[in-house]
Structure 1
Amino acid sequence: MIIIVQVILVLVVIFFSLMLVRGGSNAKHMAVRRIMVMLFAISAVLSIFFPTILSQLARLVGVGRGTDLMLYAFIVSFLVYMSTTHQRFRQTETTLTKLSRRIALDEAERPWEHVPVAGQTANKETVDSHPGQGL
């Protein structure tokens, strides 16, 4: 019986972890994350005031003590947090790289454009007088 409960717990943990870690930050993912945080906070507060309920719940799901159950929940929460933070960091890094490339291209010297000499204004005749530079 305990093995069955442990397998079910592991499958539930894997399911929720994959759901939370999966890419995207749309409203559905944010709502699930908020619900998970609220459930964890409520269970933590209840375990402080009523430690016997947490111990009974732990025994029900096949974990020895309530503190072990909370530790397992904290470890899973921490791993999900690390994974989502890493994912956000990678996304920010990619965005920064693209932005840096865009700025570099925008500010790069364009040898095909005619740069007027001091006191001279660039006009169509000046550009046309230099073949190959008026592209």
Structure 2
Amino acid sequence: MLAGIVVVTAMLTRSTAGASHQAIRRLMLVGFVVLAAAAILFPRLLTQAAQLLGVGRGADLLLYGLTVVFLGYVAASYRRMRQMEQQLTTLARELALREARDVQGGRSADDGPAARGGSGLDRD
């Protein structure tokens, strides 16, 4: 199980996010690694923590914690997806407006960026 934690840690540290977001992510990752290793090496600590919080067993506390983390991940993924959808919509509108201006300016649709060998996203 400890090897699995090491693999997950290595995968999560490869991020391309901004500096502040990446710093927060790494701090949370360190916390995860410490807590996961402690739960594996000292299972009684997890049971004692669960009993302190009013939960019967350490495994139940772990399940509740993972549920909360999963819901947070789903919410963050949803926000990220919505942001990417909005960016895609903005880019599509910009491209459509640019092509419409080109057609009005006397250039035909066949003379567009794609016909000239471009991707359609580069500026004229």
In structure 2, the gaps of 5 or more residues are 1-16, 108-124
TM-score computed with the length of structure 2 as normaliser: 0.62
Aligned to 1:91: 83
How far the C-alpha of 1:27 sits from its partner, in A, is 4.9
State how far apart, in whole Å, the 1-side matches of 2:99 and 2:33 are. 50
3-state DSSP of counterpart to 2:45:
helix
RMSD: 2.2
Match of 1:36 among 14, 20, 28: 28
Q: Provide the TM-score with structure 1 as the length reference.
A: 0.58
Amino acid across the alignment from 1:74: L
Q: Which shifted more, 80-89 or 40-49? A: 40-49
Greater RCO between the two (CA within 8 Å, min separation 6)? 1
Hey, what's the Cα distance between the residues in 2 that align with 1:77 and 1:91?
Answer: 21
SS at match of 2:105: coil
Q: Look up the equivalent residue of 1:38 and give its one-letter code.
A: V
Alpha-carbon distance change, 37 to 72 in structure 1, aligned in 2, over 3 angstroms: farther
Amino acid at match of 2:50: A
Higher mean Cα deviation, 32-41 or 43-52?
Answer: 32-41
| 1:48 partner letter | I
For these two proteins, the number of residue pairs brought into alignment is 91
- AA matched with 2:85: E
Q: Could you tell me how far 1:41 is from its partner in structure 2?
A: 2.8
Q: Which runs of 4+ in 1 moved over 3 A?
A: 25-34, 109-115
Aligned-partner residue type, residue 79 of structure 2: Q
Q: Residue 104 in 1 paired to residue 96 in 2? A: yes
Separation (CA, whole Å) in 2 of partners of 1:30 and 1:103: 32
Q: Which residue of 2 aligns with 1:60?
A: 52
The gaps in structure 1 that reach 5 residues or longer are: 1-24, 116-135
Judge which range, 25-34 or 42-51, deviates more: 25-34
CA distance in 2, matches of 1:36, 1:58: 21
The separation in 2 between residues aligned to 1:102 and 1:66, in whole angstroms, is 54
The alpha-carbon deviation at position 112 of structure 1 amounts to 5.1
SS at match of 2:78: helix
Identity of aligned residues (%): 44
> Aligned-pair distance for 1:87?
0.1
